[in-house]
Amino acid sequence: MDPITFKADLLKRIQETDDRSLLQQVKALLDVHAGGRWEGLPDAVKASILEGYAQSERNEGRAHEDVIERQRMAGS
């Protein structure tokens, strides 16, 4: 996939999601990369970020709203 098509697909997918945790991960990754801090992160932190992203891609994990609702129910 060429870079223009890749970016267009990525933007479309970001615009279509309401998954707050996924959006936060994307933002954090972009912030780290933009600041040039990615290279300075420990390998374990990089691996953790990439694994979180991979889990989101595989639809593993829970939506933020689901987690909040479970906590509310547990507190009742």
- pLDDT tens column, 24-73: 888 888 887 787 777 777 888 888 888 888 888 888 877 778 878 888 88
Q: What is the pLDDT of residue 4?
A: 92
Q: What is the pLDDT of residue 25?
A: 86
Extract the tokens encoding 50. Answer: 């990439």
The structural domain count of the chain equals 1
Give yes or no for a contact between 25 and 53, defined as CB atoms under 8 angstroms apart. yes
Tell me the pLDDT tens digit for each residue of 9-23: 999 999 999 988 888
- The burial of 63, by beta-carbon neighbours within 10 Å (0-12 exposed, 13-18 middle, 19 or more buried), is given as middle
Residue ranges making up the domain that contains 28: 3-75
Is this structure's pTM higher than 0.85?
Answer: no
